[in-house]
Amino acid sequence: MKKWAKSLTILAVLFLIFGIFIQSVYADKEELEKIKQAIKEKGAKWDADETSVSELPDDQFKMMLGAIFPTEPSKGAKTRTMGVTTPTSLDWRSNGGNYVTSVKNQGSCGSCWAFGTIASAESLDMIAHNNPVIRVKGKAVDPIDLSEQDLVSCCSHTDAEYPGWNKCDSCLGCDPYWAYEYLKTTGVPGESCFPYADSNTAETPTSIPCITTCPVLVHIVDWSVLTQGVDSLEGAVLTHPIPVGFNVYSDFGYYRSGVYQHVSGVLRGGHMVCLIGWNNNPPPEGKGKNSFTPPPYFICKNSWGSWGESGFFRIAQSETGPDTLVNFGARAADFSLEGLAPPKLAKPAAVVTLWGSIKSSY
Residues annotated as catalytic (active site), given as ranges = 112, 271, 302
Q: Give the whole-angstrom CA distance, residue 247 versus residue 249.
A: 7
Helices (H), the chain: 2-42, 58-62, 112-128, 148-154, 176-185, 230-237, 307-310
Angle between helices 176-185 and 112-128 (to 10 degrees): 40
Render the burial of 22-32: b for 16+ CB within 10 Å, e for the rest.
eeeeeebeebb
Q: Give the whole-angstrom CA distance, residue 4 versus residue 32.
A: 42
Q: Contact at 8 Å (CB) between 237 and 278?
A: yes
The neighbour count for residue 184, using CB atoms within 10 Å, is 15
Residues 6 or more apart whose CB falls under 8 angstroms from that of 158 comprise 167, 168, 169
Q: Give the whole-angstrom CA distance, residue 235 versus residue 137.
A: 36
Helix, strand, coil content of the chain in percent (nearest 5) = 30, 25, 45
Amino acid at 263: V
Amino acid at 212: T
